[in-house]
Structure 1
Amino acid sequence: MIEAGKKIILFDGVCNLCNNAINFVIKRDKNDVFRYASLQSEIGKKLIAERNIDISKIDSILLIDPKIAYYHKSTAALQISKQLSGIYPLLSVFLVVPQSLRDWVYDIIAKNRYKWFGKKESCMIPTPELKALFIDQ
């Protein structure tokens, strides 16, 4: 179930880099802004289909903001950083960099993420204390 007002981060559930990034966000989401689901989950597929998103072009992260629509690639990462505690909101200054350049760097990392960081056989299973943050459980 999706809680009203929560932003949803859809991520590649078998990617080690993506799983580590989600754990990073969870630790710094002091205002409880986000909920999480893997792209491979039923709810992930449903949210993607509802928005007519071509998943062949977006395969690593999506930020769904119920008030706005969705963000993908580098824009999603930077929009997420704006909500985190600490110095991470300062990263949003990179939103002034042309999206094509930001996404070019993002795509290089996304294309090589399995080779550089590894891949799991199945999606991450959250610990019991984190389970409530995942909408695909």
Structure 2
Amino acid sequence: MTYYVIYDGNCNLCSNLVQALEQIDRGDRFSYMPMQDTAELAKFNITPEDCELGVILINAENPSQRWQGAVASEEIAQLLPIAAPIVSAYRAIPGLKAVGDRVYEQVRDNRYALFGKRETTYRSSYPACTEGCTPFPAE
């Protein structure tokens, strides 16, 4: 099964995490789309404003199945065999998920201040394109 990960390609933290996932997954489960690719986002009825609420994970075989924010991050980790037991434990410990959700929101809302903003949008080596990748606007 394939999943699309929609991330902020201008965020240093987000781009570095995508690059780490690329190294682990090598395009087996995940393909990636920066939120700056508005033409591709539109094909999923997603706006850049929607993306401000956090990373989005879409089931490529059933695009109506989606996760966003901290839950999307958990699902991504759950799909990686090495991380699945950690996610299960994280979800099982009372109160830990609530704290994790709040931390995610703080990082999401302050990502540029905390980790910096890239001058150019990071484009994955494993792009999620529905039919030929669309060119990005000049930056």
Normalising TM by the smaller chain, what interval?
0.7 to 0.9
Q: 1:112 aligns with which of 110, 113, 119?
A: 110
Which residue of 2 is the match for residue 92 of structure 1? Answer: 87
> Please, what is the CA RMSD of the aligned residues?
2.7
CA deviation after TM superposition for structure 1 residue 38, in Å: 0.6
Where does structure 1 lack aligned partners over 5 or more consecutive residues? none
Which residue of 2 is the match for residue 29 of structure 1? Answer: 25
How far apart are the structure 2 equivalents of 1:37 and 1:56?
Answer: 11
Which residue of 2 is the match for residue 135 of structure 1? Answer: 128
Retained in 1: the 8 A contact 2:33–2:123?
A: no
TM-score by length of 2: 0.74
**Could you report, residue by residue, the CA deviation over 1:13-66 in whole angstroms, capped at 9, with x for unpaired residues?**
10000000101111111670111001110212432x16x8961761x3000114
| Count of aligned residue pairs for this structure pair | 124
How far apart are the structure 2 equivalents of 1:112 and 1:85?
Answer: 30
Where does structure 2 lack aligned partners over 5 or more consecutive residues? 134-139
Which residue of 2 is the match for residue 64 of structure 1? Answer: 58
How far apart are the structure 2 equivalents of 1:56 and 1:83?
Answer: 21
Q: 1:74 aligns with which of 52, 70, 75?
A: 70
Change (3 A) 1:53 1:37: closer
How far apart are the structure 1 equivalents of 2:118 and 2:99?
Answer: 30
How far apart are the structure 2 equivalents of 1:23 and 1:78?
Answer: 17
